[in-house]
Amino acid sequence: MTADRSLKPLAGASALALLAILAGGALLSLAIEAMGGRTEGFATFDSYLWRIARFTLVQALLSMLLSVALAVPLARALHAHPAFPGRAMILRLFALPLALPALVAVLGITSIYGRNGLLAATFRALGLDAIPDIYGLTGILIAHVFFNLPLATRLILSGLDSIPEDYWKLASQLGMNGWARFRLIEWPVIGRNLSGIAGLIFMLCITSFTIVLTLGGGPRATTLEVAIYQALHFDFDIARAVSLTLLQLCLTIAVLAVLGLSGRPAEEGFSLHTATRRFDRPPLGAKLLDGGLILFGLVFVGLPIAGTVVSGLAADLLRLLSERPVWQAILTSLILGASAAALSLIISLALVMAREYLANERRDAPPTLFERALDLGASLIMVVPPIVIGAGWFILSRHFVDPFSLAPIMVVSVNAAMAIPFAFRILRPSWDTAASRHNRLCAQLGIAGWNRLRLIDWPALARPLGVAFAFAMALSLGDLGTIALFGNNSIQTLPFLLLQRMGSYRTEDAAGLALILGFLCLLLMIIADRGASRLARTESGNNG
Amino acid sequence: MRPFNTLVKSAILAGALALGLTAPAKAEGKLTVYTYESFTAEWGPGPKVKEAFEKQCGCTVEFVAVTDGVALLNRLKLEGPSTKADVVLGLDTNLTYEASETGLFAPHGIDTSAISIPGGYQDDTFVPFDYGYFAVIYDTEKLKNPPGSLKELVEGDPKQKIVIEDPRTSTPGLGLLLWVKSVYGDKAGEAWDKLKDRVLTVTPGWSEAYGLFTKGEAPLVLSYTTSPAYHIVAEKTDRYKAAPFEEGHYLQVEVAGQTANGAKNPLSAQFLTFMTSPAFQDAIPENNWMFPAAKTSTALNPAFETLVKPAKTLILSPEEVSKNRKAWIDEWLSAMSL
């Protein structure tokens, strides 16, 4: 083995350590601060906590199942029709919900399914006496599927894209029907990544806060995250906040452990990758079904976004775009988002490379704890509430530096950490596939280090890297940051400005800013798609 | 998705304002004021207050803004005695007892005779700068017969929905909880049990509730008596009105105080005195959308004259609120969760 390969586990370990320090440091510092303070701790670990813990799990599991169950056929349909009209635009649209602040999404969803929404208007127009009532579990599930169906679809699709073209050629030559193709070709790839994707969605939903409270209809719908916020913010009971965070972590690990059992890794064959082209000619029935599925996905995701766009267009966009604070916020968001995305990509790549290296080295032995940690551990950062990380580091740093000056660093690192699970899942299938195809060849030819990265890995990775960067940046663009406690006078992001206007009656301004935010995100996806494919083309052109 | 979006608004100031703030200090004195962020927003009272006081004192005012009044107190607790704050502006009366208990505040020692708050306000540590009443706002296009009392709200048609805020996460939510408590007393649990059917949803903060209301999701929302003034002045519409309640309205008083550290800075007391003068108070009504706590230099905008004038002012003592808040929230939870 060459030196560069043996460095991979070290890189992975460092990446993991970084995340552990970010979350663990905050928790530890809070725990120390809490000692000697007055606390309720788990004293009221009563029926209330039990109830909200149960509700948290149930809504997250249901949201996850629904999102994944819909995403698998949708991703298959999108993959089977590379020439579906507007396909590229649909995929970009699917990245938008990620960048929308929860409140904007909630208002978009109510503009369709609410008591005064499009659906209600349709009922009225049809002379029906029904008012849609989504407040409760229904509303929560609609919102969570709105956020996660497009995400899951894109992630599954990126797995399907890593299937070598020869498979489809062969399947078509052998005259495989749809079911056989699914079972023999698609499922091994989907299944291998599915538990990870499901886990990611589960974690996103377990920490849901604004959506659960606003659409939940009352305190019956309360998540642990609400209790953590309440403990830290309203009650200033640090010990309780730490205990609840640990409880949330443990529950998540338990559920992920159960989920992990289902994803049996399959071995992958060796093939030279060209552009994915499907050779199968689906029968008309399948075509119609796939078309219907894609249309459903488009309508389901597109309508609330359209609602947001309509409200946004009612705003005085010209005035907004002539305001200096708006431009400053756009600039701040772009700079912070790009930094977070870059950092997140570096860490994710280290994790992905180390995991594949270890998996490759152990051959048929069961994965070690370290390998599993590389896979899942990084994602756990998502269930440590940003307010907890913020408070912990505030306490820790106030003795050494002015906490205000740390604000940009904290925003970037927390946003980067939160984006890692996404970036990791986008990069992993491509990296693993590329590695399994090239490892032996490269070893035979003695291609390693920089040369291998430039000639072999880069062409295969350029596109997923571009997509992962855009995703991570979109996620950071929509995020408010963790800096409630790191008050700082010089950073003001776009979502911050949006919520500030929303919080002072300026609803129209807020809608206009949401439109600008969505537009930025779409632009980002387009640039990433175009740029990455061009890069990949030039590189492979050079090779040939 | 990003769960804390609406609540943990990052505590940062308006960009334009920040530029002004980071300008080099022009005089020797500097006053650091911790406050909430809507106070320092470009349309908030902050910029005007800063300009007026800096002219008067020949010093520099630095604002540090956090999400809201609760975050303000938390911030202070985290920083402890070494806090940089000279003055803390923006706590409300539900927080003053807890704030005094921290021992981080010093008596103000100023003449507060200019202050005029309904029901009176006397405190050695905190000085009020504005006040407002909680109120149920209704949409006149959707609702012809708004409830005339809290009782009518509680017992009225459950099909006419109201959006309220959560007392576990927001100040208005806690306000409604105390309002119901001061009217119903021991029967508050039963009242909530009845009101429950009328509640469309309970949002984490004011923005979500008011957003759903203006989207037309419900004809009623919990807000302030001053909310219609914004719509009249800024949007030239009187579509949204506050419903006057027979039992009276619950009062929210916003206060400021100097920290023990700040007491060593003579500018702190000077600022608190300035706060009771028209130069400060002028910035309150149409920037903070609250009632001024002392005289303004000119009469208020006529829109304020059209607002509901509560028949009775309801308020519980800070100590009582602080000691019972948890028990009352538990009562609310069990009534609302059934």
Measured between CA atoms, how close is A278 to chain B, in angstroms?
35
Contact B230 A505 (CB under 8 A): yes
- Beta-carbon contacts of A8 under 8 Å, excluding residues fewer than 6 positions away, are A350, A353, A354, A357
Q: Residue B5: which of A115, A495, A504 has the nearest Cβ?
A: A495
In a domain, A500, yes or no: yes
Measured between CA atoms, how close is A240 to chain B, in angstroms?
14
Contact B1 A487 (CB under 8 A): no
Kindly tell me if the per-residue pLDDT of A152 is higher than 60.
yes
**Which of A47-56, A225-234, A257-266, B105-114 has the weakest average pLDDT?**
A257-266
Which pair of structure tokens corresponds to residue B211?
């957003």
Q: Average pLDDT for residues A1-5, to the nearest whole number?
A: 47
Contact A502 B211 (CB under 8 A): yes
Q: How does residue B28 score in pLDDT terms, banded at 50, 70 and 90?
A: low
Q: How does residue A487 score in pLDDT terms, banded at 50, 70 and 90?
A: low
Per residue in A193-251, pLDDT (tens digit) is: 788 889 889 998 998 888 998 999 889 899 998 888 888 888 888 888 898 999 999 99
In a domain, A424, yes or no: yes
Amino acid B254: pLDDT: 95
Contact B201 A230 (CB under 8 A): no
Contact B201 A495 (CB under 8 A): no
Amino acid (1-letter code) at residue A390: G
Question: For helices A238-260 and A369-376, what crossing angle results, to 10°?
Answer: 110
- Beta-carbon contacts of A509 under 8 Å, excluding residues fewer than 6 positions away, are A315, A316, A320, A501
Give the Cα separation of A472 and A491 in Å (integer): 20
Which pair of structure tokens corresponds to residue A490?
């010089």
Residue of A nearest to B8 (CA): A484
Kindly tell me if the per-residue pLDDT of A265 is higher than 80.
no
The per-residue pLDDT of chain A, averaged, comes to 83
Kindly tell me if the per-residue pLDDT of A280 is higher than 80.
no
**Which of A17-21, A177-181, A523-527, B103-107 has the weakest average pLDDT?**
A177-181
Q: Residue A325: which of B10, B14, B208 has the nearest Cβ?
A: B14
In a domain, A491, yes or no: yes
Residue of B nearest to A486 (CA): B11
Contact A115 B218 (CB under 8 A): yes
CATH number for the domain harbouring residue A406: 1.10.3720.10
Give the Cα separation of A38 and A238 in Å (integer): 9
Give the Cα separation of B1 and A102 in Å (integer): 6
Q: How does residue A539 score in pLDDT terms, banded at 50, 70 and 90?
A: low
Q: Residue A478: which of B2, B37, B337 has the nearest Cβ?
A: B2
Amino acid A538: pLDDT: 60
Give the Cα separation of A395 and A544 in Å (integer): 56
Q: Average pLDDT for residues A429-434, to the nearest whole number?
A: 82
In a domain, A275, yes or no: no
Q: Residue B208: which of A210, A324, A488 has the nearest Cβ?
A: A210
HSE-up of residue B295 (Cα within 13 Å, Cβ side)? 6
Angle at A515 between CA A510 and CA A518, to 5 degrees: 125
Contact A225 B208 (CB under 8 A): no
- Which residues in chain B are contacts of A204 at CB distance < 8 A? 1
In a domain, A300, yes or no: no
Q: How does residue A272 score in pLDDT terms, banded at 50, 70 and 90?
A: very low
In a domain, A145, yes or no: no
β-pairing, B30-36 with B87-92?
parallel
The CB density around residue A523, as the number of other CB atoms within 10 Å, is 12
Contact A233 B169 (CB under 8 A): yes
* Best CA proximity match to A269, nearest among A179, A162, A172, A194: A162
Amino acid A410: pLDDT: 83
Give the Cα separation of A388 and A31 in Å (integer): 11
End-to-end CA distance of chain B: 27
Q: How does residue B128 score in pLDDT terms, banded at 50, 70 and 90?
A: very high
Tell me the range of A107-111, A170-174, A279-283, A489-493 where mean pLDDT is highest: A107-111
Fill in the DSSP letter of residue B197: G
Q: Average pLDDT for residues A101-126, to the nearest whole number?
A: 91
Q: Residue A325: which of B42, B77, B166 has the nearest Cβ?
A: B42
- Which residues in chain A are contacts of B44 at CB distance < 8 A? 504
Amino acid B14: pLDDT: 34
Give the Cα separation of A351 and A241 in Å (integer): 30
- Which residues in chain B are contacts of A495 at CB distance < 8 A? 5
- Which residues in chain A are contacts of B205 at CB distance < 8 A? 503
What is the model's pTM? 0.86
- Greater confidence, B278 or B77? B278
Tell me the range of A43-52, A429-438, B294-303 where mean pLDDT is highest: B294-303
DSSP string, A414-428: HHHHHHHHHHHHHHH
Which pair of structure tokens corresponds to residue A99?
């960048």
In a domain, A258, yes or no: no
Give the Cα separation of A491 and A487 in Å (integer): 9
CB A344 within 8 A of CB A420: yes
- Which residues in chain B are contacts of A492 at CB distance < 8 A? 12-15, 18
Q: Residue A387: which of B4, B205, B326 has the nearest Cβ?
A: B4
β-pairing, B220-224 with B162-165?
parallel
Amino acid (1-letter code) at residue A542: N
DSSP string, A30-83: HHHHHTTS---TTTT-SHHHHHHHHHHHHHHHHHHHHHHHHHHHHHHHHHH-TT
**Which of A17-21, A392-396, A478-482, B27-31 has the weakest average pLDDT?**
A478-482
- Which residues in chain A are contacts of B206 at CB distance < 8 A? 503
Q: Residue B206: which of A411, A496, A503 has the nearest Cβ?
A: A503
HSE-up of residue A36 (Cα within 13 Å, Cβ side)? 2
The per-residue pLDDT of chain B, averaged, comes to 89
Beta bridge partners of B252: B132
Amino acid (1-letter code) at residue B35: T
Q: Average pLDDT for residues B80-90, to the nearest whole number?
A: 92
**Which of A38-52, A510-524, B246-260 has the weakest average pLDDT?**
A38-52
The tally of domains found in chain A comes to 1
Measured between CA atoms, how close is A292 to chain B, in angstroms?
28
Amino acid B292: pLDDT: 96
Instruction: Residue A394: give the domain boundaries.
Output: 1-36+315-544
Q: How does residue A296 score in pLDDT terms, banded at 50, 70 and 90?
A: very high
Beta bridge partners of B256: B89, B127
Residue of A nearest to B288 (CA): A504
Amino acid A481: pLDDT: 55
In a domain, A478, yes or no: yes
* Best CA proximity match to B269, nearest among B30, B87, B84: B87
Sign of CA dihedral A318, A324, A325, A327: positive
- Which residues in chain B are contacts of A108 at CB distance < 8 A? none
CB pairs under 8 A between A and B: 248
The CB density around residue A471, as the number of other CB atoms within 10 Å, is 28
Which pair of structure tokens corresponds to residue A84?
């579906």
Contact A496 B9 (CB under 8 A): yes
- Which residues in chain A are contacts of B204 at CB distance < 8 A? 209-210, 213-214, 226
Per residue in B138-188, pLDDT (tens digit) is: 999 999 999 999 999 999 999 999 999 999 888 899 999 999 999 999 999
Ordered structural domains, chain B, with CATH: 30-131+252-298 (3.40.190.10), 132-251+310-337 (3.40.190.10)
Q: Residue A483: which of B7, B11, B216 has the nearest Cβ?
A: B11
Kindly tell me if the per-residue pLDDT of A334 is higher than 80.
yes
Which letter, b or e, does each residue of A150-164 get, where b requires 16 or more Cβ atoms within 10 Å of its Cβ?
bbbbbbbbbbbbbbb
Kindly tell me if the per-residue pLDDT of A125 is higher than 80.
yes
Give the Cα separation of B33 and B271 in Å (integer): 10
